[in-house]
Structures are given as C-alpha cells and as structure tokens.
Amino acid sequence: MVLEKLSVEGIRVAEINSEEPDFLGLLTECFVQARESLLHMSSGTVATLLYFENKIQIGTRQRLSRDDVEFIIARLNSLAAAFSGSRADLSEPAVHINGDSTEDYVYDNENRNRGQEVTFPLYLQERPLGVIYIESLDMERNLRLGKFIREFKTDFSSGITTLWNYYRRQKEQFQSLISATIEGVIFCTMALDIQFVNRSALRLLGGSVRTQWTGRPLSELNSPFLTEFLEEGIAGGLNQISRVAELPGNRVKLLGVHIELLKDSNFQEIGWMLVVRDITPNWHNERLQNALTTASHEITTPLSSISGVLDLLLKQEIGGLNDKQKRCLEIIQDDIDRLRRLLSETLDLARLQQSIRFEDRRKETSLALVADKVANLLEPLAQDKNIEIELEISKALPNLKLDRDRLQQVLFNLVENGLKYSRPNGKVKVAGRLDVDYVETTVADGGVGIPEAKQKRIFERFQQLQNSPDHHAQGHGLGLSIAREIVQDAGGKIWVESEVGKGSVFHFTIPV
Ligand code: ADP
C-alpha cells in the first residue's frame, strides 16, 4: 500500500549548547512527554527516535503486527539517517513499544491497513536530536495535526530557548558565585567523578586550571586524602565529614576539608560536595599566640626578681647611693614597671581570647560591688593626682550577665584611663543605669578628651593618641581593646563621647 506522506519542517532550537548533558536530559523528557500527548491526540501510531540515546519509543493505541514494527523501525532509521547524515549510530536501536521491550510485546493484527504518516525532526542548533513520527489512518485528523505542529513549533522552540536562557543564567550565576569563593569547592558524583571544581580548589590542591576536570575521577586531583575521607564517610554511612589534612612539603600546610552528601528534593543521593579551606594561617596564629604567652611568662619571673633587687638598692638597704645613681635606678624601675604592665596586658589578652574561644563563663555580677573594688584598687593613683573617684550606682540594679573578673577588668581599664588622661585635681565619675534588659555603665572624666576622628580607632589594639598629660602614665594601647572584646563577647556595646579639652564619657552596656 502506498503511504501518503506529510512531512513537517522540524522544530529547530538554536542558541542551545548541545554539549550540556543536563539540559539535553531535560529536553528529552519534554520530547517524550510531547510524544505521549500526541498519542492521545491521534489514534495512530506514534513513534520517536532520539538519536543521542539511540532509542526508538513506539507508542500506539492500535495493535501492531511484527511487520508494522519492522516497518516503523525501517522508516525511522531512514528518516534518522536522512536527518543526521552519518552522525547517528542506528545499528541496533533499542525499541520499546508502549514502554515494554519488543520481546514482551504480543504482536497480532497481521493485516492492519497502513495510514498516512506525519514526521517532524527535532534539532538543537544544527544537531538533529530526534524524529517524531506519527502514522494514522485518519487523514483528516493528520492534516489537522500537521497544521497544529506547524503552529506549535514556533512556540515550542521559543519556549525552549527561553528555558535554555534561564537555565544558562542560573548556572552561570551559580558557577560564578562558587568560582569566586575563597574556599575550594568540588562537586562529585556518587561514583566519585568530578562534576565541578572551582579555581580555589585547584589552587589549594595544586591541580591545573587548564585541565578539563569535569567527568574525571576525583583521584586524578592528586589529593589522596579527599578520596580517603570520602571513603571513610561512605563506609561509616555518614552524611557529613570534617577533617584536617596535612600536606607534604617544606612548610607546614594544613587544609580543613568539609564533605557533605548532597540529596535532591526526593531525598535521592546525588553526589558529594567538598569544601576545602587553607587553615594554616589560623594554626600559625595560634602557635604565635602560644609562643607569646609562654615568652611573656618566662620574662615575668626574672623581671620580678630584678624589680625586687632594684627595690632593695633604692631603699639603700644594700649600700648608699648618690643622687645620680639613684636617678638612674629610678629610670630603670620606671621602665621595668612599664614592661611588667605590657606583659600582664599581653597575657590578659591571650587569656581572654583563649577563654572566649573555649568556654562561656558568664556569671552574675553586681556592678556596685565591682565598682567599689576598682575604686579601691585605683585609689593610690587617684590620690597621687588628687582626683576623686565618685560612684553613683544603685545597689538595687540587677546583676549583670558577665563574669566578675571580666567586669572588673573593663571598669578598671576605663577608670584608670580616666585618671591617666586627666590633669590633677578633678573627678572621675562611674554611674550605672538600668534600661529594660541591660545596664548602661558610664565612666566620665574631665580630662584631655579625644578628637572625634579618633574616637572609634582608640578601641583598636595598639592605638594611642599620645594625649596623656603625664608621660609616665602612658600605657600600651591595649586597655580599650580588651574592654571592647569583653563587652562585645557579653553581648553588649561600648563607645565614647568626648570633647577635646573638656573630657570623655565612656559608655558600655551589659545584658542583665
Ligand atoms: P593605653 O594603654 O594607651 O591607655 P587604651 O587602649 O586604654 O591604651 O587607650 C587607647 C588610647 O585612647 C590611649 O592611648 C589614649 O590616647 C586614648 N584614651 C583612652 N581613654 C582616654 C580618656 N579617658 N581620655 C582621653 N584619652 C583616652
């Protein structure tokens, strides 16, 4: 029987990079869906051939004979060859009928009449993706179908182009985000093949940026510890693994590796994400800090004995001194005092950072009691300069959520500064005020003041303005940074209001 043919110009979707396996997979799904819909629109046989999967899917509402199936396969093969030239390998396409393999399909209806066929190819750019083939007995219906497909194809291709643009934009945004992160990021499949690796990961692991890594086994990145950690996670059935790897080489290099199992929205495991970070600087910092702490301790002991001996000399208990000798020893004693203060502040800071990191010692502390203690401790300095320390703190204030030693340290540093940066004969006032869920403490002096431009910077480490009226009272620029660290750690704020020549008011808040 002679077939009447109605061939429709294919759907052509330009601008799509046909090397995108994810998108092609999505598109194939779309075509399969389209074929299903066509099957319901036409009572005829519908078949598709998708080249890149080399599969023939026949959907039919009729009973097919073995001849029918062979005929369709031959037709699709010749169409496919015509569309794709030599690019399609159609030697043994897998054939499915209504989802079953041909072996499971029971053939009957040996004498079916052949109808009219409509075929339309699907192209991605110039690459043929597949052919949709419809054979139907109903000529009228097929003409309508042909018309429908002709109209539909413009919408269809522009729809796919829009989808493609969206997909590409999302992918590019995601990739540029991941590429720009300082941390190394690798995505790999469950079979441990690389899907994506950013530049930071290549830099950290020493992989070449020129190599095309997608699709290669993770082990090729030459970082055996990654596979080792992953295998450990897989063996233990873990979803997350965090480990540290030490890289061989002259200088110690430590990498923190965090691995996470990725699942899709149906909780299917789809791969692994590995985040790699260089943690060597932290490690060096910690070592440096430990070394500093140890050195400070080591220096404190001989300094104490030097200071004791100096005391004896100055009190002339060992022998007499002339004025010049006495003056020289006093200068030494002054410097030793400064050195001891610097060491004790360095140790405070180190202790503080360690304890902030490792423990939360927040207790309840009475501001009034601590302020009394600080005033007592600083009384000698206040008397030296004839400055009054005035406390205006109600005993009824609720306790502050802060460790007592730390509160004392904050207050001590602020009141001591108030005394240091004031001329003789003045007042330093400490006041406390409750405001709903925190207490605001103020330490006010009538001293030299701080220029506005410097008011934020003085809370940074080693920031000094050289504005002390008393050269010997100058500190080391650590007191306020220690105070800020304590206050912020307790969940509060610290700031200053000041006017040059008139004085300063330091404020800090601590939750109650
Ligand atoms: P220092 O040990 O130098 O006092 P701080 O961190 O306590 O270090 O203070 C940093 C700098 O801020 C001081 O050197 C000083 O210039 C300035 N400063 C701090 N408190 C006052 C104050 N009450 N009045 C004027 N200047 C102050």
pLDDT mean for each 10 residues of the chain (512 residues): 48 61 72 74 70 73 79 76 58 78 72 70 69 74 71 71 80 83 90 91 90 92 90 86 81 85 86 90 74 73 78 83 89 84 75 54 82 90 93 92 86 93 94 94 95 90 72 67 87 95 96 92
How many domains is the chain built from? 4
User: Do 453 and 398 have their domain in common?
Assistant: yes
In this structure, what CATH number is given to the domain that contains residue 235? 3.30.450.20
Structural element, H or E, at residue 243: strand 240-247
How confident is the model at residue 358, as a pLDDT? 41
User: Do 303 and 425 have their domain in common?
Assistant: no
Give the C-alpha separation, 254 to 231, whole Å.
20
User: Do 341 and 400 have their domain in common?
Assistant: no
How confident is the model at residue 359, as a pLDDT? 46
User: Do 199 and 118 have their domain in common?
Assistant: no
262 close to ligand 1 (CB < 6 Angstrom):
no
Q: Whose CA is nearest to atom 13 of ligand 1?
A: 464
The residue behind tokens 């400490």 is 430
Q: If you ran DSSP here, which 8-state letter would residue 19 be given?
A: T
Domain boundary among 320, 354, 388: 354
482 close to ligand 1 (CB < 6 Angstrom):
no
Give the C-alpha separation, 437 to 409, whole Å.
22
User: Do 50 and 108 have their domain in common?
Assistant: yes
User: Do 151 and 260 have their domain in common?
Assistant: no
Range of the domain at 346: 279-354
Of 390, 370, 372, the C-alpha closest to 430 is 390
User: Do 299 and 265 have their domain in common?
Assistant: no
Give the C-alpha separation, 153 to 506, whole Å.
74
How confident is the model at residue 405, as a pLDDT? 79
Per the CB < 8 A criterion, the answer to whether 83 and 10 are in contact is yes
475 close to ligand 1 (CB < 6 Angstrom):
yes
Of 53, 43, 61, the C-alpha closest to 80 is 53
Per the CB < 8 A criterion, the answer to whether 378 and 412 are in contact is yes
- Give residue 328 CA to ligand 1 midpoint distance, Å: 28
- Give domain status of residue 2, yes or no: no
Give the C-alpha separation, 372 to 450, whole Å.
27
Of 273, 270, 271, the C-alpha closest to 185 is 273
User: Do 26 and 145 have their domain in common?
Assistant: yes
User: Do 63 and 159 have their domain in common?
Assistant: yes
438-445/426-435 β-pairing: antiparallel
- Give domain status of residue 488, yes or no: yes
Domain boundary among 236, 253, 278: 278
- Give domain status of residue 8, yes or no: no
- Give domain status of residue 271, yes or no: yes
- Give residue 497 CA to ligand 1 midpoint distance, Å: 13
From the CB of residue 127, how many other CB atoms can be counted at a distance below 10 Å?
16
Structural element, H or E, at residue 346: helix 323-358
Per the CB < 8 A criterion, the answer to whether 93 and 133 are in contact is no
User: Do 365 and 511 have their domain in common?
Assistant: yes
- Terminal-residue alpha carbon distance, the chain: 95
Domain boundary among 137, 172, 207: 172
- Give domain status of residue 11, yes or no: no
User: Do 30 and 146 have their domain in common?
Assistant: yes
Give the C-alpha separation, 44 to 141, whole Å.
10
User: Do 271 and 284 have their domain in common?
Assistant: no
